[in-house]
């Protein structure tokens, strides 16, 4: 009679904690990867178990991006650091008009971090990847001593394919081009701040974190030849993004305050916190610069998509050697929309 086979005890996902052995390369690390990451990210390339992923690439030009996520708190209304990491990486690729294909994910874990929270993060990350139509195909895990990190940090990279003939870039805007935003601004930053400071409002403010590649695909299909550029206004908000593009394209920007879509509860929270919605981060919105003759068509296409239902035309590009971003206010006056000075909302993503 053969000796009974010992079965490894499964991870304690109720009360268990990350310890240093989970990053040491032994059995504990293999179990952590298998029961948390491989379980939630499951796909054919990851299942090969190699230190890299090898795959074929469709025709077109490759786009690549990388990002790091240190958001605090890790869980916030409308998402968590895991879903945010997928959405942010997918969106960076989508802003080039790329079809995102694959992601990598690297985790820096702090000793003592609850395994239940790690499993929850990995589960939401896998769900976000499947919803966006991408695969997390390779990754890495490290554990640092207690007090040397803040729970978990995530680094990602992503690749996608840009169709031949499409060239979206921050230096392509021209005087006369029309500027559109895909929806309400400031949602993510206010959701993070209210959660961090334990602020309660009558209506809960949710992060707008979402993958925009589906919306972008519709926009490119309808108006690709007329699109100049796309950008997601994350850290620094709409103000920083418009100033970046004005300098890249050597143009000025004029926007209308009354045209900016801002939820009443977000506007109220910004007033309470002393924030300007123009400077507050977004994680599920984009701005588009398009030739004027295609602006109305693009607006219709965006509004037909769930993530663009609140899209609006907010302004236009002008000839300005100083590259100023200016806004006509609700009172009929004007003001310069400048870069954010200092750190308004640290660790927003």
Assess whether 208 and 152 both reside in one domain: no
Q: Is residue 5 part of a domain?
A: no
Q: How confident is the model at residue 4 (pLDDT cuts 50, 70, 90)?
A: very low
Domain boundary among 128, 162, 196: 162
Bridge-partner residues for 252, per DSSP?
A: 318
Contacts of 225 (CB under 8 A, 6+ apart): none
pLDDT digits (tens, 9 = 90+) for 60-72: 999 999 999 999 9
pLDDT of amino acid 7:
56
pLDDT digits (tens, 9 = 90+) for 101-151: 999 999 999 999 999 999 999 999 999 999 999 999 999 999 999 999 999
Mean pLDDT for all residues in the chain: 95
Assess whether 50 and 186 both reside in one domain: no
Q: Domain of 112: which CATH number? A: 3.30.1330.10
Assess whether 145 and 192 both reside in one domain: no
- What does the pLDDT average to over 254-271? 96
**What tokens does 198 get?**
């334990």
**What tokens does 121 get?**
């993060």
Q: Which residue has the higher pLDDT, 164 or 344?
A: 164
What are the DSSP E strand ranges found in the chain? 61-69, 75-76, 79-80, 99-110, 135-144, 152-162, 178-181, 227-231, 252-256, 287-290, 312-318, 325-328, 334-336
- What does the pLDDT average to over 234-246? 97
d(CA 44, CA 18): 27
d(CA 127, CA 159): 19
Asked if residue 187 has pLDDT above 60, the reply is yes
Q: Please count the structural domains in the chain.
A: 2
Assess whether 135 and 31 both reside in one domain: yes
Assess whether 111 and 219 both reside in one domain: no
Q: How confident is the model at residue 204 (pLDDT cuts 50, 70, 90)?
A: confident
Bridge-partner residues for 135, per DSSP?
A: 102
- What does the pLDDT average to over 222-251? 97
Q: Is residue 2 part of a domain?
A: no
91-95, 158-162, 208-212, 274-278: least confident range: 274-278
d(CA 76, CA 80): 6
Domain boundary among 136, 162, 188: 162
User: Distance between alpha carbon 49 and the CA centroid of its chain, in Å?
Assistant: 28
Assess whether 187 and 219 both reside in one domain: yes
Domain boundary among 135, 162, 189: 162
Assess whether 183 and 258 both reside in one domain: yes
pLDDT of amino acid 200:
78
50 to 32, 45, 47, 100: CA distances (angstroms): 16, 9, 8, 22
- The per-type count for the chain, helices as H runs and strands as E runs, is 9, 13
- Inter-axis angle of helices 213-223 and 295-303, nearest 10: 150
Q: How confident is the model at residue 3 (pLDDT cuts 50, 70, 90)?
A: very low
Assess whether 46 and 141 both reside in one domain: yes
**What tokens does 240 get?**
């920083």
Q: Is residue 96 part of a domain?
A: yes
pLDDT of amino acid 8:
67
**Domain limits for position 236:** 178-336
d(CA 84, CA 152): 13
d(CA 183, CA 237): 13
pLDDT digits (tens, 9 = 90+) for 85-103: 999 999 999 999 999 999 9
Assess whether 298 and 234 both reside in one domain: yes
Decide: helix, strand or coil at residue 188: helix
Asked if residue 1 has pLDDT above 70, the reply is no
Assess whether 326 and 195 both reside in one domain: yes
Assess whether 256 and 295 both reside in one domain: yes
pLDDT digits (tens, 9 = 90+) for 18-56: 999 999 999 999 999 999 999 999 999 999 999 999 999
**What tokens does 273 get?**
């916190």
Q: Domain of 291: which CATH number? A: 3.90.650.10
182 to 215, 299, 347: CA distances (angstroms): 9, 9, 24
Instruction: List helix spans (H) across the chain.
Output: 27-32, 39-41, 81-94, 115-132, 187-196, 213-223, 237-249, 264-273, 295-303
Q: Is residue 262 part of a domain?
A: yes
Asked if residue 171 has pLDDT above 50, the reply is yes
Q: Is residue 192 part of a domain?
A: yes
Percent of the chain with pLDDT over 70: 97
162 to 63, 127, 182, 234: CA distances (angstroms): 7, 24, 21, 22
d(CA 69, CA 233): 16
Q: Which of 266, 286, 348 is nearest to 81 (CA)?
A: 348
Q: Is residue 189 part of a domain?
A: yes
Assess whether 315 and 187 both reside in one domain: yes
Q: Is residue 14 part of a domain?
A: no
**What tokens does 153 get?**
């940090």
Q: Is residue 15 part of a domain?
A: no
């Amino acid at each position: 009679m053969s000796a009974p086979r010992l079965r490894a005890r499964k991870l304690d996902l109720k009360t268990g904690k990350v310890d240093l052995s989970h990053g040491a390369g032994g059995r504990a690390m293999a179990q952590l990867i298998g029961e948390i990451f491989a379980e939630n990210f499951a796909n054919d390339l990851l299942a090969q178990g190699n230190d890299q992923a090898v795959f074929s690439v469709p025709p077109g030009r490759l786009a690549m991006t990388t990002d790091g996520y240190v958001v605090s708190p890790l869980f916030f209304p409308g998402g968590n650091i895991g879903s945010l990491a997928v959405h942010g990486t997918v969106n960076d690729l989508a802003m080039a008009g790329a079809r995102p294909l694959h992601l990598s994910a690297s985790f820096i874990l702090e000793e003592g971090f609850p395994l239940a929270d790690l499993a929850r993060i990995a589960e939401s990350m896998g769900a976000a990847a499947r919803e966006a139509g991408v695969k997390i195909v390779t990754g890495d895990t490290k554990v640092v001593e207690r007090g040397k990190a803040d729970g978990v940090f995530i680094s990602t990279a992503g690749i996608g394919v840009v169709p031949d003939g499409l060239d979206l870039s921050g230096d392509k805007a021209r005087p006369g081009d029309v500027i559109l935003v895909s929806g309400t601004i400031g949602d993510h930053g206010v959701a993070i701040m209210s959660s961090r400071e334990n602020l309660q409002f009558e209506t809960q403010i949710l992060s707008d974190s979402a993958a925009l590649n589906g919306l972008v695909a519709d926009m490119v299909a309808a108006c690709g030849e007329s699109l100049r550029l796309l950008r997601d206004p994350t850290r620094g908000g709409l103000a920083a993004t418009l100033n970046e593009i004005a300098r890249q394209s050597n143009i000025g920007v004029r926007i209308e305050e009354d045209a900016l879509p801002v939820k009443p509860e977000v506007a109220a929270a910004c007033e309470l916190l002393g924030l300007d919605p123009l400077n507050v981060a977004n994680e599920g919105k984009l701005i588009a610069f398009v030739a004027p003759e295609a602006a109305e068509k693009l607006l219709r296409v965006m509004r037909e998509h769930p993530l663009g239902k609140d899209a609006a035309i907010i302004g236009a590009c002008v000839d300005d050697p100083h590259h100023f971003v200016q806004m006509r206010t609700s009172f009929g006056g004007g003001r310069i929309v400048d870069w954010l000075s200092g750190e308004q909302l640290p660790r927003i993503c």
